[in-house]
Amino acid sequence: MSGLEIERKFLVRGNGYKQQAVSHSRIKQGYICSGHGRTVRVRLRDHCAFLTIKGPSLDGGLSRYEFEKEITLDEAEHLFHLCEPGIIDKTRYLVPSGKHTFEVDEFYGDNEGLVMAEVELSAPDEPYEKPDFIGREVTGDRRFYNSHLRQNPFRLWKDEI
Report the catalytic residues: 31
CB 27 within 8 A of CB 42: no
Helix (H/G/I), strand (E/B), else coil: 138: coil
Question: How far is the first Cα of the chain from the last one, in angstroms, to the nearest whole number?
Answer: 34
Euclidean distance between CA atoms 59 and 24, whole angstroms: 30
* Beta strands in the chain, from DSSP E residues, in sequence order: 2-12, 23-35, 38-45, 48-54, 63-71, 88-97, 100-107, 115-121, 134-137
CA-based nearest residue to 71, from 51, 88, 53: 51
CB 27 within 8 A of CB 94: no
